[in-house]
Amino acid sequence: MSTAGRHTRVVTLARRPGPGGPAPEDFTLTERAVPELGAGQLLVRNAFMSVDPSMRGRLEETEKHYTTNFAVGEPLDGSAIGRVLASRVPGIHPGAWVRHRLGWRELAIVEATPGSPAAFSAVDAARAAPSAWLGILGQTGFTAYAGLLRAGKLARGDAVFVSAAGGAVGSAVGQLARLLGAASVIGSAGSVAKCHLLTTELGFDAAVDYRAEPIAAGLGRAAPDGIDLYFDNVGGDHLVAALHALRVGGRVVLCGMISQFTSTAPQPGIDHLIQAVLRRVTLRGFIIRDHEDLRTEFTDRVSGWLRTGELVSRQTVVDGLENASAAFLGMLRGDNVGKMLVRVDPDVEA
Ligand code: NDP
């Protein structure tokens, strides 16, 4: 199949966010020509794309970020999964499912070059639904798994606390912690409905609605004897509350600090770190791309738990590339339960 003359809809960065944070006007839906398919490349029809907190930093000129920042006028990118329409890669045929990083567009040209921004990996769609490969079996679940085991050194019998627990990584952390031997799991989330979901469907022992009361008060009530491990997705007052709740020898997994993206209030000072001294606490930052050696073990174990129903995969699906920027802004506000995804191809089941 030739790509000559084909166009695709893409979302580009129209301008950098203003002082109030990202707004719908910062994004534009436009059309771009699809380049000719070269040797070693695939033409992919994206089915689902992910919206991620890490994109927030990438919208800025020189802000904190995990990879490169976006350029004004250029397409955004991020994790996506889609079906091959045409292939010039030996062994990969039309209809195969591949995961890659060229989301925010309907058609993508990806390539078999490891390390390239356009690199793809094949996924086995018979093992789990395509959308799961961006959520519980994708970076989300993998972040939870590697964060708990590698950075958190989760031990049997631990009391675990995780923030943003109704979101993608957090909902996986709580469930995986239990499956990996934690004695109790507490989560915090920003609504009554999310807290209800944590304790009724996802197996958490307790949940704290941080919008209804200060997180320190809620955590103190939920864990009167303290915690061993805090998985931090939020930073700010959550991190301070956890430092005061940790037992001697406790551990903190520094996964993300979304409150720094979404709050305009001043952040609590670093002086609370004296608690880490007094309690001999280990604080460990980590980035998931450093733990690829765990990928096969992770995929095997987590797909097994999904099959047996021991693990529940929650996702919120927004339809249409034209709604992708709204999905991203909604995720920052907490509109999502579980993984926030955009369905780019309406013919694929969520
Ligand atoms: P989520 O699905 O958890 O979505 C973000 C959630 O953050 C929202 O749903 C909202 O839930 C919550 N939130 C927003 N603002 C605040 C705030 N001020 N205080 C507390 N909670 C807030 O996103 P992900 O699961 O994709 O990511 C979770 C964290 O993991 C992020 O910090 C991300 O950067 C990090 N991450 C780190 C990786 C790494 O390699 N280190 C890899 C992947 C993710 P609510 O309704 O509860 O407020």
Q: Which two tokens stand for residue 84?
A: 């091959």
Is residue 169 lining ligand 1, measured as CB closer than 6 Å?
yes
Same domain, 130 and 114: yes
Number of structural domains the chain divides into: 2
User: Does the Cβ of 259 fall within 6 Å of ligand 1?
Assistant: yes
Averaged over 296-316, what is the pLDDT?
A: 96
Q: Are residues 22 and 120 in the same domain?
A: yes
pLDDT tens digit string along 62-81?
765 667 899 999 999 999 99
pTM of the model: 0.96
Question: How large a percentage of the chain has pLDDT more than 90?
Answer: 89
Structural domain includes residue 284: yes
Residue 172: CB within 6 Å of ligand 1?
no
Please report, rounded to a whole number, the percentage of residues in the chain having pLDDT higher than 70: 98
Q: Is the CB of 99 under 6 A from ligand 1?
A: no
Of 273, 288, 303, at which residue does a domain stop? Answer: 288
Does the Cβ of 189 fall within 6 Å of ligand 1?
A: yes
Confirm whether 11 is domain-assigned: yes
- Which CATH number does the domain housing residue 221 bear? 3.40.50.720
Rounded-to-integer distance, Cα 219 and Cα 280, Å? 20
Q: Is the CB of 263 under 6 A from ligand 1?
A: yes
pLDDT at 63: 63
Query: In sequence order, what E strands does the chain have?
Result: 7-13, 27-33, 41-50, 80-87, 97-100, 107-111, 120-122, 159-162, 184-189, 206-209, 227-232, 246-254, 282-285, 315-319, 339-343
User: What spacing in Å lies between the alpha carbon of 25 and ligand 1's midpoint?
Assistant: 23
From the CA of 3, how far away is ligand 1's center (Å)?
Answer: 38
CA of 167 to the centre of ligand 1 (A): 6
33 and 151, same domain (yes or no): no
Q: Whose CA is nearest to atom 33 of ligand 1?
A: 256
Question: How far, in Å, is the centroid of ligand 1 from the Cα of 229?
Answer: 18
Q: Is the residue at 1 inside a domain?
A: no
Tell me: pLDDT of 280 over 90.
Answer: yes
Over residues 244-261, the mean pLDDT reads 95
- Calculate how far, in angstroms, residue 166's C-alpha sits from the geometric centre of ligand 1: 9
pLDDT (0 to 100) of residue 275: 95
Name the burial class of residue 179, with classes exposed (0-12), middle (13-18) and buried (19+) by CB atoms within 10 angstroms of its CB. middle
Same domain, 131 and 153: no
pLDDT at 3: 78
Residue 300 lies in a domain: no
| Residue position matching structure tokens 């839906």 | 29
pLDDT value at residue 1: 67
| Pairing verdict, β 7-13 and 227-232 | unpaired
Q: Please check whether residue 297 lies inside any domain of the structure.
A: no
**Residues 115 and 146 placed together within one structural domain of the fold:** no
**pLDDT score, position 64:** 59
For residue 8, the SS3 value is strand
Q: Is 80 exceeded by the pLDDT of residue 268?
A: no
Cβ of 229 closer than 6 Å to ligand 1, yes or no, is no
Decide: 75 in ligand 1 pocket, CB within 6 A: no
- For residue 168 and ligand 1, the question of a CB distance below 6 A is answered with yes
Is 214 part of any domain?
yes
Distance separating alpha carbons of residues 155 and 163, to the nearest angstrom: 19
Chain segment 1-42, per-residue pLDDT in tens:
677 789 999 999 999 999 899 999 999 999 999 999 999 999
Residue 337: domain span: 7-135+314-343
Residue 213 sits in the same domain as residue 118: no
**Same domain, yes or no: 145 and 284:** yes
Q: What is the pLDDT of residue 260?
A: 85
Give the CATH number, domain containing residue 330: 3.90.180.10
Residue 81 shares a structural domain with residue 191: no
Residue 232 has pLDDT above 80, yes or no: yes
266 pLDDT exceeds 90? no
* Shared domain check, 61 and 181: no
Residues 249, 157 share a domain: yes
What pLDDT does 62 receive? 77
The per-residue pLDDT of the chain, averaged, comes to 95
* Ligand 1 site, residue 288, Cβ cutoff 6 A: yes
**Amino acid 129: pLDDT:** 94
Are residues 123 and 13 part of one domain? yes
Same domain, 126 and 265: no
- Residue 323 three-state SS: helix
pLDDT in tens, 124-145: 988 999 999 999 999 999 999 9
Q: For position 5, what pLDDT does the model report?
A: 82
What's the pLDDT score for residue 261? 81
Contact 82, 119 (CB under 8 A): no
Nearest ligand 1 atom, CA 254 = 41
Is 295 a member of any domain? no
Residue 294 lies in a domain: no
